Structure 1
Amino acid sequence: MNPDRPPLIITDNRSFRTHLSELSSGDTVVGLLNIKPTEQVLFLDLVERGIRLFPPALAQQLSRSKCLQAMVYREYMVPHTFVARDRHDMIKQINVYGREEIGPVVTKQDRFNCGLGVHLWSSIEEAHNQACFGSLNYPFVVQPYVETAIDVRVVIIGDYSEAYWRRNPHSFRNNMFFGGDSGEHELSSDQWDLCRNVMERGRFPNAHIDLMVTTDGTTYFGEINLRGGLKGARISGPEYQERIKAMEKAFVKSVKEEENG
């Protein structure tokens, strides 16, 4: 707490950059921070200084990193999902995948979205070879390829929520970025619980959550983000932005009320 001034409430990235060095405990920064990959440590710095972030630092970090998600949410993902940090990790898991007789695998490159960093390999050995010869950069996520009956996108903003299936008959990537179709999906109680659990664990105030429903009916967590595409969703872009802004304004109001006692 800076005794020489009232607490700051910052709501844009330009002001954040201007006041970064003087921010202290009791100050608040609202909105997604435009922090570059080489600046990720700033989140730790802000938290250590007692600066309140909305969305919280953990949620913002998780949204940026497929690898961090695989570390934090591994229990909800396809069994044997892991983060390949280096060759040692790959060699170790090649033995595990061989013992479990796991065939094709999917890799997810860190910090890629819209399916652009997702690749399908005939085996973990093939992915390892590509990584060894520089065609696949560490770190990345590896998981067994599973036949997906339904790919579900869940959008949650405050008291608004919806879920819809997505399908691309010409690719195993079922996101809508390069085409495909979609339809409304009714979440089961277990699927709702899964969504709530991952949001609570990552401190997400809102989320785009992808679920994988296999041919035997098992649901696995795919990934989560604070923002995402809306193709296939009922909610429009303008309404979506309005709800995000309303959520941020409500948070700012709660901070001011707390300061005023």
Structure 2
Amino acid sequence: MRPPWIIVTNRAFRNYFPHLGPQDLILGILALKHGEEYLYTDLYARGVKAYPSLLAQYLSRAKCFQAEIFKEFMIPETTVVRDRHDLIRLLNHFQAQGIKEVVTKQNRFNCGLGIHRWDNLETLYNVACFGNLSYPFVVQPFLPGAFDVRVVILGDYVEAYTRKNPHNFRNNLFFGAKAEAYPLNDEELSFCRRVMARGQFPYAHLDLLVTEDGRFFLSEINLRGGLKGARLDQEKYQAKIDALHRAFLEKFLKEHPEAVVKE
């Protein structure tokens, strides 16, 4: 039997992919192309180990997947719409609940580019039916007055900052929002840790949506994210990521000293 392999580059992953098994480790985030996400399923089925986890890597790529897995942590009535039938059912349900304004999130967009606000679901339905909105997408009730909090958790390191834009409901810093430090309380931190545990995230950038009355919900989570507004600069951030990866590698090598690194 061969020794365990430690895959540390995307080139090595491509070269050795057919032969990977439960004794092997993929260290680092895979650079899969759009449409290759099925590889996560195959790797998981074969028992291949990964750091960060395969689940966390997949979740970081798809807002619809997040809305399914983290539904209990998100705004009530958060729904994934996959086709016109889902949308018409949701329209009926939201109208019965008195929900008018909604927000949609396109599946693979970042930096606020895939977020749209609608006065009502009827307008959304009409636009989607004419082919101007690609399925699938996430629909959530719009919460007026809510603001974003970005939480960065890297092992024991935690920082949080608000992102507020008085001129645009998109609170992304690239759309003119201003950042300032946010005093994350124990309840909010515990919430973030639970989200990370559910998605098997060893580290994360989490976006919380905080309402005027103090409630908070998960907006989205990612293994990576922009640092604009954070105290950490890119160099220090990368050093912390590298330290987490190195610690996991050392633990793996302690258990499997015969392992071979593949680059």
TM-score, normalisation: structure 2:
0.95
Q: Could you tell me which residue of structure 2 aligns to residue 226 of structure 1?
A: 223
CA distance in 2, matches of 1:23, 1:79: 41
The one of 205, 208, 211 equivalent to 1:208 is: 205
Q: Could you tell me which residue of structure 2 aligns to residue 185 of structure 1?
A: 182
The one of 49, 57, 61 equivalent to 1:60 is: 57
Deviation of 1:64 after TM superposition, in Å, equals: 0.5
One-letter code of the match for 1:134? G
Which secondary structure state, in structure 2, belongs to the residue aligned with residue 177 of structure 1? helix
Deviation of 1:206 after TM superposition, in Å, equals: 0.3
One-letter code of the match for 2:157? Y
Q: Could you tell me which residue of structure 2 aligns to residue 105 of structure 1?
A: 102
Is 1:135–2:132 an aligned residue pair?
yes
CA distance in 2, matches of 1:176, 1:212: 15
One-letter code of the match for 1:143? Q
Question: Aligned-residue CA RMSD in angstroms?
Answer: 1.1
- CA 1:62–1:256: 2 relative to 1, 3 Å: same
One-letter code of the match for 1:152? V
CA distance in 2, matches of 1:96, 1:178: 32
CA distance in 2, matches of 1:238, 1:155: 15
The one of 162, 165, 168 equivalent to 2:165 is: 168
Runs of 4+ in 1 over 4 A off after TM superposition: none
Q: Could you tell me which residue of structure 1 aligns to residue 82 of structure 2?
A: 85
Q: Could you tell me which residue of structure 2 aligns to residue 237 of structure 1?
A: 234
Q: Could you tell me which residue of structure 1 aligns to residue 15 of structure 2?
A: 18
| Residue segments in structure 1 that go unaligned for 5+ positions in a row | none
Q: Could you tell me which residue of structure 1 aligns to residue 261 of structure 2?
A: none
1:87-144: CA deviation from partner (whole Å, max 9, x where unpaired): 1111111111001111111000001110010001111111111111111000000001
1:225-261: CA deviation from partner (whole Å, max 9, x where unpaired): 0000110000111100111111111111111101149
Q: Is the 8 Å Cα contact of residues 148 and 212 (structure 1) preserved in structure 2?
A: no
CA distance in 1, matches of 2:89, 2:187: 33
- CA 1:148–1:15: 2 relative to 1, 3 Å: farther
Greater relative contact order structure (CA < 8 Å, 6+ sep): 2
CA distance in 1, matches of 2:107, 2:236: 30
CA distance in 2, matches of 1:186, 1:148: 19
Which secondary structure state, in structure 2, belongs to the residue aligned with residue 163 of structure 1? strand
1:127-166: CA deviation from partner (whole Å, max 9, x where unpaired): 1111111110000000010013431000000111100001
Q: Is the 8 Å Cα contact of residues 84 and 138 (structure 1) preserved in structure 2?
A: yes
TM-score, normalisation: structure 1:
0.96
CA distance in 2, matches of 1:24, 1:213: 43
Percent identity at matched positions? 51
Is 1:194–2:199 an aligned residue pair?
no
Q: Could you tell me which residue of structure 1 aligns to residue 250 of structure 2?
A: 253
Which secondary structure state, in structure 1, belongs to the residue aligned with residue 189 of structure 2? helix
Which secondary structure state, in structure 1, belongs to the residue aligned with residue 204 of structure 2? strand
CA distance in 1, matches of 2:146, 2:18: 50
CA distance in 2, matches of 1:38, 1:212: 30
Q: Tell me how many residue pairs correspond in the alignment.
A: 258
